[in-house]
Structure 1
Amino acid sequence: MSINKESDVAANLQIGPTSLGMVRIYIEAEGIDLPLDFDPDEAEEIAEEIKAAAARARKVK
């Protein structure tokens, strides 16, 4: 699946700190439990990428 292809998959997303000082992005969908841990610097880079993508998406509409 490419990033630009629509999907009917529904998922829950949780984001928060772990007890080990990491940032966890937890994705849960039918048959999938995917914990992704990032150090704080990586998490901030991801947040910046999400904000930049949101800004570009606003220009599409």
Structure 2
Amino acid sequence: MSINTERDLEANLQIGPTDHGMVRLFIDAGEIEIPMDFDPEEAEEIADEIRAAAQAARGVAR
């Protein structure tokens, strides 16, 4: 499976700070819950990657 493989799954994504100074991405896909904690610097790198992907996606013909 690649990033371009479409799946018929639904999930909720929550993002927020933890009480331990980390940034948590929490994915809830029904029976599966995935908490992912990052230090603030890692979270900023991820945010930069998301912004870069959004910019690249704007240039893709639909």
TM-score by length of structure 1 reads: 0.96
Give me the identity figure in percent: 66
What residue ranges of structure 1 are gaps of 5+ in the alignment? none
How far apart are the structure 2 equivalents of 1:32 and 1:15? 17
Equivalent residues, number = 61
TM-score by length of 2: 0.94
5+ residue gaps in structure 2? none
- Off by >3 Å, runs of 4+ in structure 1: none
What RMSD over aligned residues (CA atoms) do the two structures have, in Å?
0.7
Aligned to 2:34, what secondary structure does the other structure show? strand
> 1:20-59 CA deviation, whole Å, 9 max, x = no partner?
0000000000211000000000000000000000000000
